[in-house]
Structure 1
Amino acid sequence: MKLSVRLLLGLCLAGASAHAQTSNIVNMPVTQRDYSKEGTNDYANLSNLTNGATHLLTRRTNTIGSPYADNRWLTAHVTLANKQALLPMLLKYDVLDRALLMRKAAPSQDSVELNDSKVASFVLDEPASALGPARQRRFRRFEEGPAARQRDYVEVLHEGRYALLKHYLKEIKREGFGGMYSNGAPTDEIEDASVYFLRSPEGTLTPVKLTLKALQTAAPALAEPLKAAAAAQKPRSEAGWGAVLDAADPAAK
């Protein structure tokens, strides 16, 4: 009888211990890696730029519009602050959350948010389409911008003595109950609030519209070359105006 009681007591204690250990494992918070303590060479492996967690590309509840600079997964060439280039990857720039998202290799449909604290720039491969030939789109930090925005990315549409930059911005317009989703809830809309800037050789930033008059006003020294290039090329897109500036303000060789 005593042996049976001891055996039963031992089993109860073992079960309680196992339950406590299981509870500790389940409740243990996920530890995020501290990238500030990583050595430079550790970033040679792309996995060191991810936080190890899958990023769900879910649609925001009762929200219309896109948070991305481009909705497509485009091949990207990422360069780190130490000039090291990573292997090409499929990338999206989430402007609203100020995040870079990488798509995992097929057949996986998951995406991973990059820890971009070490990223300096990236180049997107734009495929040929009815809008124009294949080209590369370069993004870098908004170094000339206000302090609060210098970690944002800008697309460099032209760079010579002057630079034409597109600062991507997204805003959420709160509709309240004026606009309704099918479920009867109020609808919010993500709106594009991007701004174009022309940076002068002296470093001055001037917000501009992509028109001949606006660019001539921001860069008086280029007034005539801009007029001639615009007349010859008849630009109708961002890339077109970038090409006009390429002709009017060629990059130094």
Structure 2
Amino acid sequence: MSLLGALLLPATLCLAQQPNIEQVGAAGQANLQALAAGSPAVLPSSVRNEVIGSPYADQRWLPAQLIMSNKVPLAPVPLKYDVYNKRLLMRLVDRPKDSLQLDDRLLERFILQEPATAISPARQRVFRRFTDAPVATHRTQYVEVLQDGKFSLLKQYVKLLHKAQTGAYSNGNRMDELEDKPNYYVRGSNGTAVPVKLNLKQIQSAVPELSAALQATPGAKTAKTEADWVAVFKALNARP
């Protein structure tokens, strides 16, 4: 039976009744097994494993809730989003040392559970399919929902690979480097995600319907960082 067939089989059983808490246990683990590619995934690296930077959205293994389009219940699973290779890696209870590739064809979203630290509380990080992307080829990829509401702030993770330079005229950099080059989008009332830069004038220009509201939103005139703009959009969406 194919992986997709193994995944669809329990889905037919779910049509007769709604998933309950018991299904998240043994049944949830069984469904996760159907999502695994079956062999340890080879993590991206150079020949000598010398790469500056990380291919992941987050380097940590974080517990994740997986939301499937066919409503199959799944147990939480440690997950990493490999941005550079456009894949999701997970670890199963019975294979804690292996990184397995997730068969994500029926995955709608995943929610990373980020633990509390000394300076920040625990939080949930929602990644969904980028179905409203302005570029059609991006619509099967994932985007992080930094702030949701009438106006959503979205983050598309992008990793650029700079190959090591060799030869007599190289600049001395002999390691490949992965550079973070995220793209940000604002989803307005028309349901389309518009690319933006995180500064007030550019957002006002790209999303004219937000111009006046942003002008009156606390923090918008001085916001510079991603965290600043998350706070601005939270305040913006809280307004009546």
Partner of 1:22: none
- Give 3-state SS (helix, strand or coil) of 2:165's partner: coil
Alignment of 1:42 onto 2:25: no
Alignment of 1:137 onto 2:125: yes
Which residue identity lines up with residue 60 of structure 1 in the other structure? S
Partner of 1:30: none
Partner of 1:155: 144
- Which region of structure 1 is more displaced relative to structure 2, 75-84 or 235-244? 235-244
Alignment of 1:73 onto 2:61: yes
- Give 3-state SS (helix, strand or coil) of 1:67's partner: coil
Partner of 1:97: 85
Alignment of 1:249 onto 2:237: yes
Which residue identity lines up with residue 102 of structure 2 in the other structure? L
How much has 1:117 moved relative to structure 2?
Answer: 0.8
Partner of 1:64: 52
- Give 3-state SS (helix, strand or coil) of 2:190's partner: coil
Q: Aligned residues, how many?
A: 216
Equivalent residue for 1:127, pick from 100, 109, 115 = 115
Equivalent residue for 1:192, pick from 180, 192, 200 = 180
How much has 1:231 moved relative to structure 2?
Answer: 2.7
How much has 1:237 moved relative to structure 2?
Answer: 4.6
TM-score by length of 1: 0.73
Distance 1:51 1:168, change over 3 A: same
Structure (1/2) with the larger helix percentage: 1
Distance 1:221 1:150, change over 3 A: closer
Equivalent residue for 2:153, pick from 152, 164, 186 = 164
How much has 1:68 moved relative to structure 2?
Answer: 0.5
Distance 1:107 1:81, change over 3 A: closer
How much has 1:104 moved relative to structure 2?
Answer: 3.3
Partner of 2:40: 54
Q: 2 CA distance for matches of 1:166 and 1:201? A: 18
Partner of 1:83: 71
- Give 3-state SS (helix, strand or coil) of 1:69's partner: coil
Deviations 1:199-220 (A, max 9, x none): 2211333211222333333333
How much has 1:51 moved relative to structure 2?
Answer: 1.4
TM-score by length of 2: 0.77
Q: 2 CA distance for matches of 1:250 and 1:59? A: 44
Q: 2 CA distance for matches of 1:207 and 1:180? A: 36
Deviations 1:54-104 (A, max 9, x none): 124464334321110111111111111123442111100000111100123
- Give 3-state SS (helix, strand or coil) of 1:117's partner: coil
- Give 3-state SS (helix, strand or coil) of 2:219's partner: helix
Distance 1:229 1:79, change over 3 A: same
Structure 2 unaligned blocks of 5 or more? 12-27
- Give 3-state SS (helix, strand or coil) of 1:222's partner: helix
- Give 3-state SS (helix, strand or coil) of 1:70's partner: coil
Q: 1 CA distance for matches of 2:238 and 2:112? A: 22
